Amino acid sequence: MSDKISCRNLAALMASKTPHAVFDVRERGEFNLGQISNATSLPRSQIEFRIAELVPDRRIPIVVYDEGEGRAALAAHTLGEFGYENVSILDGGLPGWRKEKLPTVSGVNVPSKAFGEKVHHERAIPEISPEELKSLQERAADLMIFDVRTPEEYGRFCIPGGLNVPGGDLILWAEALRRKPETTVVVNCAGRTRSIIGTAGLLRLGLNNVRALKNGTMGWVLTGLELESAPARVAPNAPDGSRKHAREIALRIAEEERLSWVSARELFDHPTRNDVGVTYLIDVRSEGEYEDGHTAGSLNIPGGQAVQRADDFVAVKNSRIIFVSNQSARAVMAAYWYRQMGFPDVKVLQGGLEAWRENGGAVESGGSQNEPLGFEAARKLARMLAPSEVNSLLQSSSVSVLHVGSSLDFTAAHLSGSKWISRGWLELKLPALLSDHTRPILLSCADGRSSTLAARTLAEMGYTEVFVLDGGVQTWARAGYPTERGLESCLMEPNDVVLSPSVKGDKEAMRHYLEWEIKLTP
């Protein structure tokens, strides 16, 4: 059984230099409405998928909290099963923390966004309004629009004519832009933070023809202008000469900012240390580059996202962070920003992946998706059914079909008759919804992983006729069986996903979001 920690003792831990992690195990939507300042969102349904990367050292003190209804205790039990030795539950949960008048915030990725507003305020980042940008476009001015969002975000819509250059890649363009001082460079994201950081980064690299698009794509829409939908342009590579020069620029920045390096040899020796602590090895290159080859054990967080979503990935406070890129140019810029954000121990892999290879470091290929903890054990116990067997089951019995993946996946595709429920709530919600423990239950999700883990939970709860769609809805659809779309059939509020107002297209939500972000200025 896990220990409890008082709110005051947690506050003292969070103010200390002891490595620790504080996890809000509620749904992402609940977290968005209010959370303990500097906590990390780790919904209970995601623990098996993310904890090994978030807290690789199982001796690290971990504190979990909820609203006081029981999810934290269940989360602590799961962590204990996976060998985490020092897990505590916040006594009184978030209500108790608030009662003690300890600091809370609302929103997601608040530390990074507050930092962006701080940079905007302190460095007087130059901006261009949507109306001014539109006027430049109409006059056919010498103009480049760099959209620093992820390729997935860019693929939905962009400022007309915008080029997708994810924020971490901007240093690769610096020399090419320096040679074209007559060109106005506009940096945009969905809202404010990445535009501000991207512009500030280029200014720090010595450019002065750069402007941040005020309020990004949201500001563009709120002005009454039309976005370009589903742009077909391929993200451009920086000119070769500019890419080669990026390393020289990075070395200068590293020297001026007194950034710390770690050699490949030093990194080889680090795992032999026995002290309690965590080292995050973060590869800031693109997903495609990472898949082609990366240092063993590294996480892929492209540079712009590493800054924008620092709290989502660096869960252990007072940890060591080492950034990696090909020759270290992009890694230097990520390290620069993390130092500015106040992370105490930030380094750059000297020479990047090239030096790692040359020194005989292990290189892996493929994506960063790992098998969730406990999956194989759960699969051995589960009653897995192929799509044809599921089809027969649906035809022959009164089976309850539960979709336990994300509500976003459920909206995109689910089996006919499915009802959505968050896996994080199963023990607390399902008994009242399905009191007959002998009734057949079919579990599904997008790829079969969450549903396999859920099958074990239901078996432990005493449900005797539990089946899992092997491979999930993706396999079902590939086999030619029909799926449905929509979010109508839910057994609880679908608050596990927080979508950007820019994606939802809700202008009022956009206004509220931008007002909230601006108010984060210290």
User: pLDDT (tens digit, 9 = 90+) per residue, 104-155?
Assistant: 999 999 999 999 999 999 999 999 999 999 999 999 999 999 999 999 999 9
Helix (H) / strand (E) containing 336: helix 329-341
Two tokens at 380?
């051995």
> How confident is residue 35, by pLDDT bands cut at 50, 70 and 90?
very high
User: pLDDT (tens digit, 9 = 90+) per residue, 43-99?
Assistant: 999 999 999 999 999 999 999 999 999 999 999 999 999 999 999 999 999 999 999
| pTM for this prediction | 0.96
The whole-number pLDDT of residue 512 equals 96
Nearest to 521 by CA among 108, 121, 189: 121
Whether residue 270 is predicted with pLDDT greater than 70 in this model: the reply is no
Per cent of the chain over pLDDT 90 is 93
Helix (H) / strand (E) containing 185: strand 184-188
CB-count exposure of residue 138 (10 Å: 0-12, 13-18, 19+): exposed
Two tokens at 351?
């020479």
User: pLDDT (tens digit, 9 = 90+) per residue, 186-216?
Assistant: 999 999 999 999 999 999 999 999 999 999 9
User: pLDDT (tens digit, 9 = 90+) per residue, 308-342?
Assistant: 999 999 999 999 999 999 999 999 999 999 999 99
- What is the bridge-based pairing of β-strands 104-105 and 35-36? antiparallel
Which domains are delineated in the chain?
3-108 (3.40.250.10), 113-238 (3.40.250.10), 246-363 (3.40.250.10), 375-478 (3.40.250.10)
Give 238's DSSP letter: P
Contact (Cβ atoms closer than 8 angstroms) between residue 468 and residue 390: no
CB-count exposure of residue 297 (10 Å: 0-12, 13-18, 19+): middle
> How confident is residue 521, by pLDDT bands cut at 50, 70 and 90?
confident
> How confident is residue 421, by pLDDT bands cut at 50, 70 and 90?
very high
Residue indicated by tokens 């809700």? 506
Nearest to 365 by CA among 290, 266, 474, 443: 290
Q: Return the number of other C-beta atoms located less than 10 Å from residue 522's C-beta.
A: 8
Helix (H) / strand (E) containing 443: strand 441-444
User: pLDDT (tens digit, 9 = 90+) per residue, 347-401?
Assistant: 999 999 999 999 999 999 998 777 999 999 999 999 999 999 999 999 977 899 9
> How confident is residue 271, by pLDDT bands cut at 50, 70 and 90?
low
Nearest to 306 by CA among 287, 292, 293: 287
- What is the bridge-based pairing of β-strands 345-349 and 260-262? parallel
Rounded-to-integer distance, Cα 325 and Cα 354, Å: 9
Mean predicted lDDT score pLDDT of the chain: 95
Question: How many Cα atoms are found within 13 Å in the side-chain-facing hemisphere of 248?
Answer: 8
Nearest to 110 by CA among 49, 24, 170, 46: 24
The whole-number pLDDT of residue 272 equals 44
